[in-house]
Structure 1
Amino acid sequence: MQKQKHKDKWNDLFELALYATAAVCLVYFWLKGIPAKMFQAVLIVAVLLIIRFVVKITKTTMFAALRFSVLLFIFVSMFMANEFGFYKVIPYLDKIEHLFSGLILCFVGLLVYMKASNGEKEAAPNAQVAVWFCLFFSTAMAGVWEIYEYTTDGLFGLHSQNGSLIDTMTDIICGTIGAVATSIYLAFKAKRKKMPLIDVQS
């Protein structure tokens, strides 16, 4: 428990740093007169607040490793890539993000499944069902993300999808690969039965 609190403290500091960076970006791009970048800074804050809101209303404990992964993903994908333009600096950064997102969303799916299973009094959580749920949840969210990118590109003049169907489909494929790899890992972990699928204290 003490170890969990220590990790949560570092995650709290990380999240606070993201809020502060977003505020600096908002002011900077306001002075530069770049509305799209200003919107991106506001969007980052909105995403962070939505995550907190969802966790609170669902009374879900987000284990430290997942929370750190989510915050790191927001920093890389929303700050480095979109706000600071690192797509032009790091080759295939977008594809790396989508591979990583497949991993994160698998664990989010597992968290959702375990949360839902807590209300089932007649049956214990099934590891095989959990793994399949994680896979389907992650691949579905890969599609939802592309819908979000398509919408924001059209409404706010962003270029997340580069106006290309190929870019959209390869993003979904990368996310699916990350999801499949993580699901295989979870399946082997469950089969060995040496430890539970997930340790909320890790």
Structure 2
Amino acid sequence: MREMRDTSRNHKFNNIFELVLFVICGVSVIYFAMTGAYDKTFQAGLIIFVLLFLRGVMKWTKTELPPALYLSVLIFITITMMLANLFGMYGVIPYLDKIEHLLSGVILFFVGQFIVNKMVKHKGMDSLPSNIMIWFSLFFAIAMAGMWEIYEFSVDHLFSLNSQNGSLTDTMWDIICGTVGAGATSLYVMTKHVKTDKMD
């Protein structure tokens, strides 16, 4: 019963958070359009599109993301698309790129957990031991952090871009940040499961 109340409260918070993003982006579209900053108008409109697209995919697939995962996605959109790109905070907030990679580790951990839960239900099983779920989610997140850097490396070399700043150090720090984010999340989830087991 308590868990259901917590889930309902988390869903409500996420809905309010999402509504605030819609309002900020809606106001930004009008403001930047009136001032002639059409690139910013497009960026604000793109955030609205992404939020609506995410909702549409969940409705179409009849999939409800766990509150923690959905909140992580909303925060990621806020940092990367709104603060970094729309409001140009890369030069204002120190290490914003590393913060994004830390948060991506959190998101990917919950994505891994979501995938395992889907597979378990598809096989008609009740659940898996929590330690297996946590380890899979952790390794999934770390692997995806590495895959993202492989993608950036490939795109840089194919199209002469510079997303990795031409630096192995930048690449490794991005992977480390993603790993730290996933590791911290796994410790949090593990602690939460231990507390729940003790209460039971």
Q: 1:162 to 1:141 in 2, by over 3 A?
A: closer
Deviations, residues 31-81 of structure 1 (Å, cap 9, x unaligned): 33342x334323322322232233334433333333233222221222112
- The 5 Å alignment of 1:37-76 reads 37-76=40-79
CA shift for structure 1 position 120: 1.8
- Give ranges in structure 2 of 5+ residues lacking alignment: none
Look up the equivalent residue of 2:196 and give its one-letter code.
Answer: M
Q: Which residue of 1 aligns with 2:196?
A: 195
Structure in which a larger fraction of residues adopt helix: 2
Q: For the Cα contact (< 8 Å) 2:72–2:103, is it kept in 1?
A: no
Q: Which residue of 2 aligns with 1:200?
A: none
RMSD: 3.4
Q: 1:169 to 1:58 in 2, by over 3 A?
A: farther
Q: Which residue of 1 aligns with 2:36?
A: 32
Look up the equivalent residue of 1:195 and give its one-letter code.
Answer: T
- Give ranges in structure 1 of 5+ residues lacking alignment: 197-202
- The 5 Å alignment of 1:40-189 reads 40-121=43-124, 124-143=127-146, 147=151, 161=163, 163-165=165-167, 166-187=169-190
Structure of larger gyration radius? 2
- Structure 1 ranges of 4+ moved more than 6 A: 148-151
Give me the identity figure in percent. Answer: 46
Distance in 1 (CA, whole Å) between partners of 2:143 and 2:32 is 34
CA shift for structure 1 position 2: 4.5
How many matched pairs?
189
- Normalization by structure 2: what TM-score? 0.73
Q: 1:39 to 1:10 in 2, by over 3 A?
A: same
